[in-house]
Structure 1
Amino acid sequence: MDVDLVALGVAAGAACLAYAMAAAKVVKQYERGVVFRLGRLRDRVREPGFTMIVPVVDRLHKVNLQIVTMPVPAQEGITRDNVTVRVDAVVYFKVVDAADAIVRVEDYRFAVSQMAQTSLRSIIGKSELDDLLSNREKLNQGLELMIDSPALGWGVSVDRVEIKDVSLPETMKRSMARQAEADRERRARVINADAELQASKKLAEAARQMSETPAALQLRLLQTVMAVAAEKNSTLVLPIPVELLRFLERGSDPTREEEFHHEPHSVKPPLNTPVTNATAVPAMPDLPMPVVPESPAALSDPAHGGHESLDDGRV
């Protein structure tokens, strides 16, 4: 009798332990528990931690509330300006209502994926190629709104949507490269023309300044010669002004320099002005200059234009 009681107690204890193990559940911090009792949804969602359910009667479904990163497969479409492109994107979403995510939709992950693909195709058809390449922020916001509107009824909130890559045909890439090259060349020509205009204005201003002081032109010429002569790999042909030659000639003749310093500087009349109260002086003919021989023997040589000896008595 005692043995039967002990066996019964052991069996009851084992049954209680099995019941407790079946009824005890643990919900993690990033999860929420949705309980169905005999197929009916319980109003209270189980919070993280230890919880108990009725075995066989209750069913606990755990829903992950973490943000899910879902890649959207590349979708091929035609833009509004008739360009064929392939666009792929990434969707970030999370569950905000665990009960709706279980009850309202069969598989919320698959539903969000299909909605993202259809919305991406729709946004491609409504946009132009330039918007897909340069105005992605606006397209991302529009795509997020298109996905988030039906997803709210599923207990899912779309955090953000990003267009990841836009694939273009090779012909379109070459056309865009030529367009960019032409635009760069146009900008280079405009900048070069602007530089030429500014340089011409500065040169005109410098020419007006040099016209007031002619010596500045000579100094500029010497500076240019020095700059070119620094290379030492070219031959320079330097034009010398006539005024410089006259100044050097006057400086080399001391008699003319003395006359220049001592004679009074009078204003000479113009060439075509008649001179009054002056005696006309006949013009002197141009006489050949005698050639001075290097030796006395050359005096008797008629080729040098010299005289014969005095012994002959003839000149």
Structure 2
Amino acid sequence: MPLLLIGIVVAAVAVVALAYWSPGRVTVYEFERGLRYRKGRFVGIVQPGTHWVARRGGSITKVDVRPYVLTVPGQELLTSDGIGIKVSLVAGVEVVDPAAAVNQVQNYTATLYTLLQVALRQTVSSRTLEDLLAGRADIGAKVLEDSAQAALAFGLKLATVDVRDVMLPGDLKRIFAQEVAARKEGLAALERARGETAALRNLANAARMIEDNPALMQLRLLQQLGTTGGNTVVLGESAVIPVAKRNRPAGKGKESVEDKETST
């Protein structure tokens, strides 16, 4: 009986020791990288695959290295001319150094979020509202320029930074809407004036041509009559007499008739 008890105790101790000392298996997937630690110290990065790690004093921390998008929601900011607006960002991020991302900062996503907030505040506060609205694309470029190097220091690569929204106060929205409407109305009035000017110019050119060539009016009339049917048109003698002759003084016409009667 004592021997049996001793055997059971030895077997139990062996099982516990085996469970404590035997290595564990960790699978690192293709989109991950593993950080191997031994007794709390970082010893290297492990690539995708299955790895054995000692249970006593060893561990592997997995880090997702796929690119992702970080959204910075609307931040209440003041422009250089004292106008309060809200600006939101979207940033394309990639973990290029997982060891630095995990070991250099406590939470690399939260650290990057704060970094983008500060860079955005500095960019907006240095420009007027008019400059911000006119150069909206420049805001993201400036934030990227100011943040990229600092993000790289803790293992993150900023690929892109773009402005998602620029939100104005309600009264400013109404003012800008009125300004846009006034600009559109002005452009429409300008186009109408241009059209009227062109029409008047065409009429003036036509009048000048008819004055220089009176027969053109008769030709145009005959051409128009040829395209229509079912109408009765009565033409008097004056309709085919050139304008220059119709405008002669009445006396000259009577004298010519009397001369013809005398000659006959």
TM category, shorter: 0.7 to 0.9
Number of the residue aligned with 1:108: 108
Give RMSD over aligned pairs: 3.6
Q: Deviations over 1:141-163 (max 9, x none)?
A: 11112222211110111121221
Shift, 1:76, TM fit:
0.9
- Residues 76 and 223 from structure 1, CA distance in 2 versus in 1: closer, same or farther, beyond 3 angstroms? farther
Asked whether the 8 Å contact 2:20–2:56 carries over to 1, the reply is no
Number of the residue aligned with 1:34: 35
TM normalised by structure 1 equals 0.63
Asked whether the 8 Å contact 2:20–2:55 carries over to 1, the reply is no
1:153 aligns with 2:153: yes
Asked whether the 8 Å contact 1:97–1:156 carries over to 2, the reply is yes
Distance 1:224 1:118 in 2: 76
Which one has more relative contact order, counting CA pairs under 8 Å at least 6 apart? 2
Shift, 1:218, TM fit:
5.9
Aligned residue identity for 1:34: L
Q: Deviations over 1:144-193 (max 9, x none)?
A: 12222211110111121221111111211111112112212222222222
Aligned residue identity for 1:45: I
- Residues 15 and 39 from structure 1, CA distance in 2 versus in 1: closer, same or farther, beyond 3 angstroms? closer
Structure with higher helix content: 2
Distance 1:49 1:12 in 2: 30
Asked whether the 8 Å contact 1:100–1:155 carries over to 2, the reply is yes
Q: Which runs of structure 2 are paired with 1:101-140 in the superposition (5 Å)? A: 101-140=101-140
Asked whether the 8 Å contact 1:140–1:163 carries over to 2, the reply is yes
Unaligned runs of 5+ in 2: 226-234, 242-251
SS at the partner of 1:59?
strand
Shift, 1:3, TM fit:
9.8
Q: Which runs of structure 2 are paired with 1:113-262 in the superposition (5 Å)? A: 113-217=113-217, 243=238
Q: Deviations over 1:202-251 (max 9, x none)?
A: 112211221244354467679999xxxxxxxxxxxxxx98836x9xxxxx
Aligned residue identity for 1:82: G
Shift, 1:72, TM fit:
1.0
SS at the partner of 1:45?
strand
- Residues 178 and 2 from structure 1, CA distance in 2 versus in 1: closer, same or farther, beyond 3 angstroms? closer
Asked whether the 8 Å contact 2:75–2:88 carries over to 1, the reply is yes
- Residues 7 and 111 from structure 1, CA distance in 2 versus in 1: closer, same or farther, beyond 3 angstroms? same
Distance 1:134 1:113 in 2: 26
Asked whether the 8 Å contact 1:89–1:161 carries over to 2, the reply is yes
Asked whether the 8 Å contact 1:73–1:117 carries over to 2, the reply is no
Asked whether the 8 Å contact 2:210–2:217 carries over to 1, the reply is yes
Shift, 1:15, TM fit:
4.2
Aligned residue identity for 1:40: R
- Residues 130 and 224 from structure 1, CA distance in 2 versus in 1: closer, same or farther, beyond 3 angstroms? farther
Shift, 1:101, TM fit:
1.3
Aligned residue identity for 1:243: S
Number of the residue aligned with 1:16: 18
- Residues 45 and 221 from structure 1, CA distance in 2 versus in 1: closer, same or farther, beyond 3 angstroms? same
